Amino acid sequence: MKKHSARVAPLSACNSPVLTLTKVEGEERPRESLGPAEAQAPAGAEASGRTSHLCWRCSQAQLKKIFWGVAVVLCVCSSWAGATQLAKLTFRKFDAPFTLTWFATNWNFLFFPLYYVGHVCKSAEKQSVKQRECCRFFGDNGLTLKVFFTKAAPFGVLWTLTNYLYLHAIKKINTTDVSVLFCCNKAFVFLLSWIVLRDRFMGVRIVAAILAIAGIVMMTYADGFHSHSVIGIALVVGSASMSALYKVLFKLLLGSAKFGEAALFLSVLGVFNIVFITCIPIILYFTKVEHWSSFDDIPWGNLCGFSVLLLTFNIVLNFGIAVTYPTLMSLGIVLSVPVNAVVDHYTSKIVFNGVRVIAIIIIGLGFLLLLLPEEWDVWLIKLLTRLKVRKKEEAAEGGADVGLGPQSKSRRARPSFAR
């Protein structure tokens, strides 16, 4: 049996460099083994009844996963779109994107406590942190000071850069363009995974990467290559690149993580942010790069609301795989784009000209192409083959019925006097 592990999937877009768990090995439902009595059961009505019962149970499990998937999609969509819009609203009164990044990242410390409380409430065995093997993710010696600086600190820097560039871009351009352009993150991850990790080459994903690049160019052209919009688009592309680098390096250096290990890792990133990044907002404040008159003027409600929504988004995106399919979670990210577009239409002066709409469609199409599984072409060929065989069988049956048509009609017309 395979060891239970949740893989870090590089093809998952988000508005922060989250550690996305999109595939769990060993969690597949094992086939129910038949006992000796069941193995010798006679074929016929009992076997068909047992088969229909198993099919009913499978369909119930799939329906349950789909139901949870809808809930996860709505949660991902609302939390990401809400966090983006709330950040835009916060900058009207609090023009400090790096301080907002630092404040929101501090909340990552809650990842492991929330996970552990949920595990203790759910599990019958009350295991301690040491027994749960969460620290083995960092090596045989656990989380040492050396491991902290060599394995956690670089990812903490990439996390901060990704969020800061994303939030700084929101100041320059509208949230619709920011959310759409960040979806190119998936294409960048594929290109880096193909080059660095030597992942399988897929022509459809190359096409998706080309569509993403074309969408970036068209989005820049939509505003007439003004310096303000070009800087904003460059910031979003930089944020997506940092996020892609984060995910590929994680896969290269750390490999895969279980749920508890992922929660501990994200909490460690929060600790790194508190200990080592706190000095930067202080410096920016006293140098008046990010300055505010008094602490009473800070919109604490917006800051806390943004942090809670971002934390919720990362929690659902990381651990939603436990209840539903990863593809459904990714759809929530795509659906947040039209949500941001609707909000921008009523709250800002965004102009949805033809070029911008085409760019949004192209990037969205590229995003969806990247969601295709690796063996999609094999499944497509099998489906087309089955349809072709079924069509031939139906044509053969139709020809046989036509050939026997008159004889069968005459036989049916002849009365039978048998009693």
Phi, psi at residue 225, to the nearest 5°? 55, 40
Q: Which of 388 and 156 is assigned the larger pLDDT?
A: 156
Contact 177, 232 (CB under 8 A): yes
In a domain, 350, yes or no: yes
Distance of alpha carbon 34 from alpha carbon 320, whole angstroms:
32
Distance of alpha carbon 415 from alpha carbon 411, whole angstroms:
8
Distance of alpha carbon 342 from alpha carbon 362, whole angstroms:
19
Distance of alpha carbon 318 from alpha carbon 8, whole angstroms:
9
Could you tell me the residue range of the domain that residue 311 belongs to?
Answer: 5-24+55-378
CA angle 236, 178, 107 (to 5 degrees): 80
In a domain, 31, yes or no: no
Q: Which pair of structure tokens corresponds to residue 356?
A: 């911008």
pLDDT (0 to 100) of residue 225: 67
pLDDT (0 to 100) of residue 134: 64
Question: Which range (38-42, 178-182, 308-312, 331-335) has the least confidence?
Answer: 38-42
In a domain, 192, yes or no: yes
Contact 235, 400 (CB under 8 A): no
For residue 353, what are the CA distances in angstroms to 193, 222, 339?
Answer: 35, 7, 18
Contact 26, 1 (CB under 8 A): yes
The DSSP annotation for 124-144 comes to SS---TGGGTGGGGG-TT-S-
Q: In the predicted model, what is the mean pLDDT of residues 117-124?
A: 73
pLDDT (0 to 100) of residue 276: 93
**Alpha helix segments (H runs only) across 173-299:** 175-182, 185-196, 203-222, 227-253, 259-272, 279-286
Mean of per-residue pLDDT scores for the chain: 77
Q: In the predicted model, what is the mean pLDDT of residues 295-321?
A: 89
Answer whether residue 31 shows pLDDT above 60: no
Question: Which range (35-44, 63-72, 219-228, 351-360) has the least confidence?
Answer: 35-44
In a domain, 39, yes or no: no
Distance of alpha carbon 215 from alpha carbon 208, whole angstroms:
10
Answer whether residue 46 shows pLDDT above 90: no
Task: Identify any residues that bridge with 21 across adjacent strands, giving them in sequence order.
Answer: 8
Answer whether residue 95 shows pLDDT above 80: yes
pLDDT (0 to 100) of residue 56: 58
In a domain, 101, yes or no: yes
200 Cβ contact partners less than 8 Å away, ≥ 6 residues apart:
374
Q: Number of folded domains in the chain? A: 1
In a domain, 84, yes or no: yes
pLDDT (0 to 100) of residue 162: 94
For residue 374, what are the CA distances in angstroms to 31, 229, 304, 378, 389?
Answer: 24, 36, 40, 9, 25
In a domain, 46, yes or no: no
Q: Which of 89 and 130 is assigned the larger pLDDT?
A: 89
Residue 285, classed as helix, strand or coil, is helix
Closest CA relative to residue 207, chosen from 29, 90, 372, 386? 372
Q: Which pair of structure tokens corresponds to residue 22?
A: 């999109």
Other beta carbons less than 10 A from residue 316's beta carbon: 21
pLDDT category at 160 given cuts 50, 70, 90 is very high
pLDDT (0 to 100) of residue 13: 34
Distance of alpha carbon 102 from alpha carbon 105, whole angstroms:
5
Question: Which range (4-18, 325-339, 341-355) has the least confidence?
Answer: 4-18
Answer whether residue 188 shows pLDDT above 80: yes
Q: In the predicted model, what is the mean pLDDT of residues 37-48?
A: 46
Q: In the predicted model, what is the mean pLDDT of residues 237-261?
A: 86
In a domain, 306, yes or no: yes
Q: Which of the 8 DSSP states describes residue 297? A: G
The DSSP annotation for 341-395 comes to HHHHHHHS-----HHHHHHHHHHHHHHHHTTS-TTHHHHHHHHHHHHHHHHHHHH
